Amino acid sequence: MKSDDADDNYDQKGDHIECTLKEIGMSNCHTPTTPILLGHHTLQKVFHQDGNIIGQIVTFNALSELAKDVPKKKIYQKTSHGVGRIFVKYHVPGIVEPVWQCGTGFCIKKGIVMSAGHVFTFKVDKNAPIETQEMQKNLKYQKIYIYFGPHASLDVDGLPVSMDNFYELESLGRDFDQKFKAPLSSTDLNGKTFHWNPANDLEVLKFKEKPPKHVKILLPMLPTNPQAVDHYVMGYPGFVTLDKFKADYDVSSVKLGLESLYIEVVKGTRYFENKTVFIGKVVKIENNVITHLCPTLAGTSGGILANTEQKRKFVGVHLGGSQEIGNIAISVTHPLFWDIYETYVLKNDDKFIKKNLKHLKEYLIYFNYIKLNKEKIN
C-alpha cells in the first residue's frame, strides 16, 4: 500500500546527474571584510536598469490554472498544489482589529510546512517613534494559517476576505538556531560581500489539525547546471499601491515611467495576492546561496525556487533580494536546510524514504544519507 506522502508522478531524467562542487555551492569563496547587510527590508529585484521586467510574471486563475499559455505550463500547475499563502495574525496594542501579515509556504511532507523565518516577525515601522519600534520588534504572533487556493486577498481593512479552507499551523521550534551561527552570504560581480539578515531565515511548521488531502508535497533536488535552464519562484505577492511602488522603485537608472512598470506588474499578478509564478534565470550559487533573477515581489518570501524541467521539486527556498545582487534563495544543499529536512522529514520515517527514494536518491547520496543508513534502501 502506498504511503500518503508518496507521489510516483515526478519527472525522471535518469539516475545519473553530473554536477560539481562549484555548481552546488560548496566551493570556497573569498570573503571581503565589512559585508553589506541585506534582509526582508531590502527591495526584491524586479526590473533591469532599462526598465524591463527581468523575467516573466504569470498568475493562476480561479481554476488553479495559469492565466496564459507559457512553456512548462503543466509543470507549474502540478507543482502549485503544494504552495500556499501564509497568514500571520497579530494583536497590536492600540489597534482594535487584528493585524495580518502574509508570506508564502509549501508542504515538504504530509502535515509539515516550510517557509522563511522572517515571515513570522512583525514588520517594524522605521519612521515610528523609538518606543513604538521596540514594541513592534518584540511583538509575538497570535495565530498562523495557510491557504492553498489561487486567490488569497486581504480586504480594505487588511483582513482575509474569507477564512474558508484556512488551516492553522504551529511552529515546530527553532532548535537549529543553536547549531548554525554563520550568516548566509554571497558576493556581487565586484566581489563585494552581502550578508542576509536574519540568520537561519527558515521556519518549519505543522498543521494543528489533520492536513488537507488535496495538498501535494514537494521534494528537494540538487541544483545542478543551474544556468542552463529557466527557474521560477512560486508565491503570493502582497498588495502594493502605486504611490508605495513609486517610492520603493524610484531608481534613476530605470528609464521607463514607474506608472507603466506598475501597470505591467499589476497585469502580471492580476492585482496581486494571487498565486503567481515568477520565471527567470539563476545567476550563481555561492556558499549554498542561490542568486537569481526571477522578478519577485514582497510576499513571495518562503516560496519555492524551482527548476522548470521538474514538477513538484524545488532547489531552494526564496528569501528576498536586493537591487545590488538580485534575489536570493537558500539552496537545499545548505547545511541548515539539510538539518531541518533530516530532522523533520526523514528521521524515523523509513516508509516515507522508501516510497520517495527514486525522487530523493541523488539528494540523499549527496549528503551520504543512504550510505550511512543502508537499511533505508533495502
CATH number of the domain that residue 301 is part of: 2.40.10.120
Answer whether 181's CB lies under 8 Å from 200's CB: no
Looking at the structure, tell me whether residues 59 and 87 fall in a common domain: yes
Q: pLDDT grade, residue 19 (50/70/90)?
A: very low
- Average pLDDT for 135-149: 94
Q: Are 313 and 307 in contact (CB under 8 A)?
A: yes
Q: What pLDDT is attached to residue 345?
A: 97
Domain range holding 97? 36-347
Q: Which residues contact 253 (CB under 8 A, 6 or more apart)?
A: 49
Nearest to 333, CA basis, from 191, 184, 227, 203: 184
Do 363 and 306 share a structural domain?
Answer: no
Answer with the residue of higher pLDDT: 267 or 39.
Answer: 267
Among 18-22, 49-53, 105-109, 239-243, the minimum mean pLDDT is found in 18-22
Query: Looking at the structure, do residues 276 and 287 belong to the same domain, yes or no?
Result: yes
* 326 domain-assigned: yes
How far apart (Å, rounded) are the C-alpha atoms in residues 105 and 211? 14
Residues 6+ apart with CB under 8 A from 191: 30, 32
Query: Which pLDDT band holds residue 314 (cuts at 50, 70, 90)?
Result: very high
Please name the amino acid found at residue 198.
P
* 363 inside domain: yes
Instruction: Please report whether residue 142 resides in a domain.
Output: yes
Whether residue 362 lies inside any domain: the answer is yes
Whether the Cβ atoms of residue 349 and residue 376 lie closer than 8 Å to each other: no
Q: Which residues pair with 196 in a beta bridge?
A: 38, 184
pLDDT, tens only, 322-370: 877 889 999 999 999 999 999 999 999 999 999 999 999 999 999 988 6
Over 50: is that where the pLDDT of 258 sits? yes
Question: Is 23 inside a domain boundary?
Answer: no
Do residues 321 and 175 share a domain?
Answer: yes
Q: Are residues 309 and 368 in the same domain?
A: no
Query: What percentage of the chain's residues is helix, strand, coil (to nearest 5)?
Result: 20, 25, 50
pLDDT at residue 124 tops 50: yes
Residue 46, domain member (yes or no):
yes
Residues 218 and 108 grouped into a single domain: yes
Is residue 13 one of the residues assigned to a domain?
A: no
CA distance 250 to 291: 23
Residue among 245, 349, 203 at smallest CA distance from 360: 349
Residue 265 pLDDT: 82
311 with 354, same domain: the answer is no
> What is the count of structural domains for the chain?
2
Check if the beta carbon of residue 308 is closer than 8 Å to that of residue 230.
yes
What is the CB neighbour count within 10 angstroms for residue 179? 10
- Report in angstroms the alpha-carbon separations of 31 from 142, 188, 195, 287: 40, 11, 11, 10
Who has greater pLDDT, 209 or 159?
A: 209
Averaged pLDDT of the chain: 84
Looking at the fold, whether 185 and 123 belong to one and the same domain comes out as yes
* Domain identity same for 286 and 248: yes
> Which one-letter amino acid corresponds to residue 82?
G
Residue 284 and residue 355 in one domain: no
Beta bridge partners of 206: 112, 170
HEC per residue, 27-93: CCCCCCCCCEEEECCCCCCCECCCCCECCEEEEECCCCCECCCCCCHHHHHHHHHHEEEEEEEECCC
Given a contact cutoff of 8 angstroms between Cβ atoms, the answer to whether 218 and 75 are in contact is: no
Distance from C-alpha of 70 to C-alpha of 42, rounded to nearest angstrom = 30
Hey, is 259 helix, strand or coil? helix
1 against 369, higher pLDDT: 369
pLDDT at 49: 57
Predicted confidence band of residue 50 (pLDDT cuts 50, 70, 90): low
274 and 355 inside one domain: no
- Strand partners of residue 236: none
276-289 pLDDT tens trace: 999 999 999 999 99
State yes or no: pLDDT of 47 exceeds 60: yes
Q: Is there a single domain that holds both residue 369 and residue 261?
A: no
- Does 12 map to a domain? no
pLDDT (mean) for 171-194 = 90
pLDDT at 330: 97
**At residue 253, does pLDDT exceed 60?**
no
Beta strands in the chain (DSSP E): 36-39, 56-59, 83-90, 99-109, 112-115, 143-147, 167-171, 184-187, 193-197, 203-207, 219-220, 231-235, 276-280, 282-286, 289-292, 304-307, 313-314, 316-322, 326-331
Cβ(264)–Cβ(53) below 8 Å: yes
- Grid cell, residue 280, equals 527567470
CA distance 142 to 288: 33
* C-alpha to C-alpha distances, 176 to 30, 139, 304, 308, 339, nearest whole angstrom: 26, 22, 21, 30, 8
